[in-house]
Amino acid sequence: KQEVTQIPAALSVPEGENLVLNCSFTDSAIYNLQWFRQDPGKGLTSLLLIQSSQREQTSGRLNASLDKSSGRSTLYIAASQPGDSATYLCAVRGSARQLTFGSGTQLTVLP
């Protein structure tokens, strides 16, 4: 059974810092990996999707990497802003259609 772990569970940084969120998964037989953002009381917003054949994806200040063989992904956020404060969730998709999620990293960017 696939298990997804995210470290750290919570992170607080001053505005302007670059930061890295970590995600690991136990079964490397994945089709893709996604990073989501969740704001309090709201649904999930997809940030980046990396196919199993890809090594990284970039969108603006966000860069996600994937090392499928070692079961790891990182989300890099450059020049963090208070508006980046949210919970970030990592999810993997295997041969079944559903996503398996980690527990998330709660990020607070202090002004």
Partner 1 sequence: GAGVSQTPSNKVTEKGKYVELRCDPISGHTALYWYRQSLGQGPEFLIYFQGTGAADDSGLPNDRFFAVRPEGSVSTLKIQRTERGDSAVYLCASSLTQGHQETQYFGPGTRLLVL
Site for partner 1, rule CB under 8 A: 4, 31-32, 34, 36, 41-46, 49, 51-52, 89, 91, 93, 96-104
CB of 14 to partner 1, least distance (A): 25
CB 75 within 8 A of CB 23: yes
CB of 102 to partner 1, least distance (A): 5
14 vs 40, which CB is nearer to partner 1?
A: 40
CB 8 within 8 A of CB 103: no
CB of 18 to partner 1, least distance (A): 25
50 vs 109, which CB is nearer to partner 1?
A: 50
84 phi and psi angles, rounded to 5 deg: -80, -10
Partners of 74 in beta bridges = 22, 65
31 vs 67, which CB is nearer to partner 1?
A: 31
Enclosing H/E stretch for 63 = strand 62-67
Which residue matches tokens 């059974």? Answer: 1
